[in-house]
Amino acid sequence: MNDQAQRLRELARSREIVSSADNSPNSNVTPATVRCKSIAVTSGKGGVGKTNIALSLAVSLASLKKKVLLLDADLGLANVHILLGLAPRYNLSHFFDQSCTLEQVIIKGVGGVDILPGASGLEELANLDLGHLELLQHHFYNLEEQYDFMIIDTGAGIGANVIRFASRADQVVLVMSPEPTSLADAYAMVKVLYEKGARRIQTLVNMAVSERDGVETFDRLNALVVKFLKMPLELLGILLFNKEIPKSVRRQRLMVLDKTGDGFCVRIAAAARKLNGMASVKRTGFFRKFW
């Protein structure tokens, strides 16, 4: 795996030279665009329902007749497959050790969504070096062309891999709850993403006790961001606390798959329609941005 990663690093350097030439002031070359829109679903802290929301948004986008790939980018502590009650034959660790192709890792058609599972309990995946990310990127080029949306379920917090994935997405959905600790960690996440160049961050408030509670939570975060970063956030939606959600997690069955928890499903569907309808900058491909 190290030899292959080294070859990919050399390939990356050669592509950087070409890219620099293409983007020079005298160049007439326009970077190629791709159809796939990347959306990173992230959070400043764990326990706010991020992965459940990422999956639910992906399924809701698929219900709009979109081809959707969900990448479990919480690489060392992956749990998307656990929430779905799946036991995949392969995960990204098998791809990196060359036991299978990237296409073989993908689980087809879960709620209309293709899943690219990570692995849990593997320290080497939690701390991927640039060579391994380049290897993943290299094999992802053709894969991106097959999808309308790639939902990236990042880890929580501001670790290097989390920020790398989130800052390179076309859009970021920041999941938070009304708890003061969530507010503080959400601001920390926005600040780091802002420093990395992210300028479009959608906020989704989860576990609000009421619509007003959700709006006030967003307003508190937005006020901080505007005051210190001079960048307004956008409110994607508010999800009310629902005692049925923990039950669905224990059953390993998404509420949006069974169309249960009507209020939750309606609000998730509305958020998905917003994401589908939003214009975004010209896309050059999520994994092309790693070069």
**120-175 confidence digits (pLDDT tens):** 656 666 666 777 777 777 777 778 889 999 999 999 999 988 998 899 899 999 99
Residue 65: what pLDDT?
Answer: 96
β-pairing, 149-156 with 107-110?
A: unpaired
Give the span between the Cα atoms of 150 and 144, in whole angstroms.
Answer: 8
Contact between residue 273 and residue 65 where contact means Cβ atoms under 8 Å apart: no
Task: Give the tens place of pLDDT for each residue, 86-119.
Answer: 888 998 888 888 899 989 999 987 899 999 988 7
Residue 213: what pLDDT?
Answer: 98
Give the span between the Cα atoms of 13 and 42, in whole angstroms.
Answer: 30
Give the span between the Cα atoms of 34 and 20, in whole angstroms.
Answer: 20
Give buried/exposed letters for 147-181 (b at 16+ CB in 10 A, else e): bbbbbbbbbbbbeebbbbbbbbbbbbbbbbbbeee
- At the fourth CATH level, the homologous superfamily of domain 34-290 is P-loop containing nucleotide triphosphate hydrolases (3.40.50.300)
> Domain locations in the chain?
34-290
What is the DSSP-derived secondary structure letter of residue 77?
A: B
Residue 289: what pLDDT?
Answer: 56
pLDDT at 184 over 60: yes
Q: What proportion of the chain, given as a percentage, has pLDDT over 70?
A: 79
The torsion of the CA quartet 150, 267, 59, 87, rounded to 10 degrees, works out to 100
Residue 35: what pLDDT?
Answer: 78
Given pLDDT bands bounded at 50, 70 and 90, which one contains residue 78? confident
Residue 281: what pLDDT?
Answer: 52
